[in-house]
Amino acid sequence: MKLQRSSGILLHPTSLPGPYGIGDIGPAAHQWLDDLAAADCKLWQVLPLCPTGYADSPYQCFSTFAGNPYLTSPDLLLEEGLVSSEELAACPEFPEEAVDYGPVIRWKLSLLDTAFGRFQGGGFRRLHQDFETFRASNRDWLEDFALFMALKDLYNLKPWTEWPAPLRDRDSLQLQKARTTYAEDLTRHAFRQFLFFRQWKALRARAAEIDIKIIGDLPIFVAHDSADVWANKELFYLDDAGQPSVMSGVPPDYFSETGQLWGNPLYRWEAHEQTDYAWWLSRFRAVFKLVDVVRVDHFRGFVDYWEVPGGAENAIEGRWLPGPGAPFLQRVVDELGDLPIIAEDLGEINPEVYEVRDQFNLPGMKILQFAFDGGLTNDFLPHHYPANCIVYTGTHDNDTNFGWWENADEEELQFAREYLGVTGSDISWDLIRAAWRSKANVAITPLQDVLDLPTSARMNFPGTLGGNWVWRMRKEAFSPELQKRLAALNRETHR
């Protein structure tokens, strides 16, 4: 895959402005697309859109196939007649610049239950027809997911490994009994998914109308406490109680001295191969229904992956093992065609990862903030970039440009001043300009850098719990003046 010379902004929908405590995919998201178009940007990059679980991370979700119901727009529910203006007016006063997930989730789910009750109460004939069509066409993942969520509700959100053994182990008679007993709850969870996908489909259609492509994000691993693992245990390394016998992570790197222990169960790749990679093919099909291009997070895991023993406290003790490699990706290509994939190829990388990436002509990633230590041989310096790559000023895991500049050591700062030919007084935009002027086909920056925000606006601190994924933009922050400034840079750099 080769992307055309273009540019874009990284902004997760949770960060959009609005009165409901969390950004959503309603009017503010449609306005965001118009603002991107006004800035002559052709790409909008988001984080995973799945239902968040542990620590509210979009990289630890209850399903890789489902959508996040917290992103559903109350305003669009009002337009459908599923909620009333009085019910929206009763929304609590939430913080404007950060997501307070606990109260927001409680209110949002209550509102979705109100919408479901009204939907079930009568009328909405066309909506009922659309819902039944949606449910039937997504049955392969939706029924397991809806049952999983209904059981999580029943058992006070406990992980599936703490459910009664017959349900934990998916005894067929007990599963059928649960589907019958909790049929209304399954329908409610399926309806939440219907609303999300209906609203997202309209948003993506609007993006296509104004020639904006959406870049999604696919974590290579899935959460242990997910419908994916519970319904497909044979595809993962688990013990008899369902706990991971080995776990995912990465060894120590520039993000963490003890490595990153993600804790996800690892794939039994031989089991996937025996099914002709059916689960993975379904997963790719599902994500490409939502987005135009996908960034595969931790792409190297297809080539080799870090295995940490189950129960370990950190990721220091582990070993590299081979992944499915090029034969797996060739199977995906044979089934789905050319791969519109960005390979996240950061960190200490086995050269074979680059070989596989290049075999399929996949663009890799360059992070400009990483460029200014190590001298002129640093591969993240723009003069080393191939055309077929994506340059980011930083990602969701980085500090903001402003914060990075405040915290970098003086030697790094001096090299950056000399290399970029700047004083650093406008460092956020200095790095944006350097990325845009590079020969990388695609340049992307987080909105926080466009807004020149400090570390407090950072989206994620890898290896930490709490306080992540909460930043929200102020309404009108991406002003017409900033849009014009970015549009001028896009014209100047032929993006």
Tell me the catalytic residues: 297, 344, 397
- In angstroms, the first-to-last Cα distance of the chain is 18
Mapped onto helix, strand or coil, the DSSP state of residue 125 is helix
Cα 402 to Cα 49, 374, 390, 484: the distances in Å are 27, 21, 21, 21
Contact 25, 53 (CB under 8 A): no
- The rounded distance, in Å, linking the Cα atoms of 419 and 430 is 11
3-state secondary structure of 3: coil
Rama region for 298: left / alpha / beta (φ>0; ψ in -120 to 50; rest): left
CA-nearest of 335, 488, 468, 483 to 12 is 468
Residue 34 CA to residue 363 CA, distance in Å, equals 27
Say if CB 383 and CB 341 are below 8 A apart.
no
User: Counting beta carbons within 10 angstroms of the beta carbon of residue 124, is it exposed (0 to 12), middle (13 to 18) or buried (19 or more)?
Assistant: middle
Pairwise CA distance, residues 208 & 211, whole Å: 5
Order across the sheet with 6-10: list the strands.
341-343, 293-297, 213-219, 43-45, 6-10, 442-446, 389-392, 364-367
Bridging pattern class, strands 364-367 and 389-392: parallel
Query: What is d(CA 44, CA 295) in angstroms, rounded to the nearest whole number?
Result: 12
CA distance 156 to 145: 16
Q: How far apart are CA 287 and CA 284, in angstroms?
A: 5
